Amino acid sequence: MEKLAPTRQNLLGLRVQYAVIKKGLELLKSKREALMKEFFGIVEESVRMRAEFTGLLNKAQRDLEIARALHGPAVESFAHAVKRDVTIDITVENIWGLNVPSIAETALTRTLEARDVSIRGESAMVFGVAREFEVVADFIVKIASKEARLQRVGEMIKADTRKINAIGEIMMPSMRRRVKSIERVLEEREREEVFRLKRYKARRPGRG
């Protein structure tokens, strides 16, 4: 920081600046606290969703293997017949000045009619497996949205923590030392001025 002359004007300016920085630090801590609540809320939900996702994926994989064992090439044929492109809508949400990506939830599970295939000659098991994997795909999109949000919020918490540490451990202590230093110089000047006045009065004619 720039060295200031030990004057009352500079002392007042430092005190005002210190008060502003202190208020900013309090706001920054409030922001970090809000982000941490958001972060841990997302973590809890992500853990729950991942556990549910793992269960759904394992079941879908087992049912797929059974369907392949029972119906053979029909499974692959059905999969090619119902494949499609999926469009994901990604928006940006602002949280405390932080741009966080958000993936809009889109239902990927389809009805029999929406698959545009004939149900004749197809096993109910094959349709069931197809639906299970669509549910799995739904979860992938939801988890991706949560974890993208989690990453951005986590990055902002780290950045704010660095700022808080720099302000609270370096900037503000330095300013307090400068305030004390100027106060000591001004107090010493005041004592010297009082001493000079006393000496002047003592030397005035007619005294003593």
pLDDT digits (tens, 9 = 90+) for 37-95: 989 999 999 999 999 999 999 999 999 899 888 877 777 776 666 676 777 778 888 87
pTM of structure? 0.70
3-class secondary structure per residue, the chain: CCCCCCCHHHHHHHHHHHHHHHHHHHHHHHHHHHHHHHHHHHHHHHHHHHHHHHHHHHHHHHHHHHHHHHHCHHHHHHHHHCCCCCCCCEEEEEECCEEEEEECCCCCCCCCHHHCCCCCCCCHHHHHHHHHHHHHHHHHHHHHHHHHHHHHHHHHHHHHHHHHHHHHHHHHHHHHHHHHHHHHHHHHHHHHHHHHHHHHHHHCCCCC
For the chain, the structural domain boundaries read 24-184
121-143 pLDDT tens trace? 556 787 788 888 888 888 888 88
CATH code, 24-184: 1.10.287.3240
